[in-house]
Structure 1
Amino acid sequence: MAALRPGYRRELADGTAVFFEARRNQCPWCGSARLGGRLRTTDLLQHKPGVFTLDRCHDCGHLFQNPRLNERGLAFYYRDFYDGLGGDRLDGVFAGRTASYRARAASVRPHLTGPAEWLDVGTGHGHFCASAAEVLPQVVFDGLDRSDGAELARRAGRVRHGHRGTFTALAARRPGTYDVVSMFHYLEHATDPQEELEAACAALRPGGLLVIDVPDPECRFARLLGRWWLPWLQPQHLHLAPAGNLRRRLEGTGFTVLAQEHARAHDAVDLVAAAWLALDALAPREDLPWLPEPPGAVRRAARGAVLLAGVPLLLAAALLDRAVAGPLAERLGLTNAYRLIARREAEKPPAAGGRRQGVLFTRESRLPARTWHQVHDS
């Protein structure tokens, strides 16, 4: 902590405004100017300084961080989360999700026809690939990540090849290489989701499968829990697309959606995660290198007391998640994520729109959201 504190102090010397781009006046998904504030919050996980806003498009329903973090901001807020100080903790969390990883693989199994090469985008340390290989022994897994996690996954034998870098760059180098591409809770982190979908179309062979899991911003928990809903995950989540928006975008990019799943993508942690975030916010801060100074003995004792007093709340929330919210999640509209499984067609459809001043305009932007749903569904 002491060694890292001077570096963070230098980065924060000019304040947090330097970490953001200019505020957008148009929806990055459909180009509409009818925007409204949806959420204003702080970093509830790392507690790095800064305030973050999610805006909602009143035409298409897309939610996005506005103003969005720039490259400097992304580097600052990701640092010590998946690697560094947070590396061991997150690795332990991901390693313990074997059942969830197996369920993801099982969702894809009915759509596979034989041996396949699979690229897991945003693979981290490759724990999903290791678990999925047990469910799908005929599949060979590669992993891609911006960090050195993919290389660590290769050394651990969890993937055949571990690629480091961006998906767009890899797809350009190796077009038509894979039978399956997965993006499990990756697309919401992307600065340009459309580019990632186009990269998937390029990387897949005709007939190949794209599997996407993303948070569902239409989940009722998002409204009921407010800023304590874990999938907001500010400042990391830049885009939160309703399922209908993403389905139509996939169809316009050269895919046919084969399945849309909500219950199987749901992770029953909403209430216990909200309880933890609230307790952690209430308690005095632990020692963190981006804070001006380490906490003293009194603050450390107070933090321990608050968290200990909150144990019954955490247990009750976990019980409700498992016993009530989990089994009834889909029926009550409480599923916190959705999964789309799509097939890449041999030919891409003609573009419905074009890029103009950094905004992707499609036919979605020409009709109000409700009217477009009615036209499309008919």
Structure 2
Amino acid sequence: MKEATPGSRKRPSIFLESAPFYVKPPKFIGERVLYPTKPKTSVQKVPVLGGSPISFEEATVSKEEEEEGVRVCVFGFILLKATAKSQEDCLVSALSDILWKVGDRQRAVLCLTQDEVHVNDSGLYRADGCTERIHTFEFRKQDELTFNLKKYLFEFMSEGGDGLLLFLYSVVLSRGFEKLKEDMGDEEVSLIQTNGAIHPVLAALMLTGRASHYLHNGVIYEGSESSMGKPRTGLITRGEVGYLVWRREEEGGEVPVGSRLKTPSLPVWVTRCNEHYGILFNPNRELTRDYHAENRFDLHYYSSHASQVDATIVTIDTRSQTVKDEFHAPPLENLVHTKWQGADVNWNGTAPYV
């Protein structure tokens, strides 16, 4: 059997290499952050054998992929791993953790490509050079999933390859159609929107394991006292990676986010400002463990924003409370204030661009 070849469309790898500058996962050493040079890859291309051919139903899950939001969510998990492993091991571990989480830590599905085509063009399906060649592999143990991710990592790292699309299919199929419908309840949505952007529930799925519309803590019941309340399920446990959201009134206004996402296990937050994704982090683990560390601290910010041409570090000072006009303040500052209300935000010489 021949080795799998990349799809017909140019796609980025799962890393953030298409950003204006290459974002390297940092190493946390004490309270410092070190950025390693890009290592020589040890990833080898090997034939993909076995698995189950993709079905027509699975092939029509999504036909377009949005780069930024998906890769930022993955990058959040990579930051958690960057203390002890190389970039490739970090990527394997991050992908494995996300897939295992969305599968309720019981199962996961990994999508890889082979040469043979299993789904043909029709009125409901348009070939893209990748989807019709997918084979699915189901795992009931995470170590087996991790082993195969490492073995076939070239599928996710090949520049111009299909890694992003394969990972999206893996996420959706690991969760399963029935659980996705259950997660979304009466508000079922297309995970990939018509403009190519990911729907917020897809970001929630990757970060929390559930495709929920709600980001509050616990379960809230909606309805009158005389009728049975309809449950709105948010976060049941504290997140490993946090999530901060802000949008203008004309875009829908405030999005309630609970403390289980605002204060994650480690100080890493995926951000969504007016539907534009980025990531904030601080290398000091104590930031989310000891409130004294929140007096004055730095946050590193990265995104795929065209205006970001260099690293951005903003300094947050919660001791200096300020009153700012939300309408005129930069969106990123408004987002920061959803967690650190009234804090002074210093861009350290960088012109605010988001």
TM-score, length-normalised on structure 1?
0.23
Superposition TM-score, scaled by structure 2 size: 0.24
Which structure has the highest helix share of the two?
1
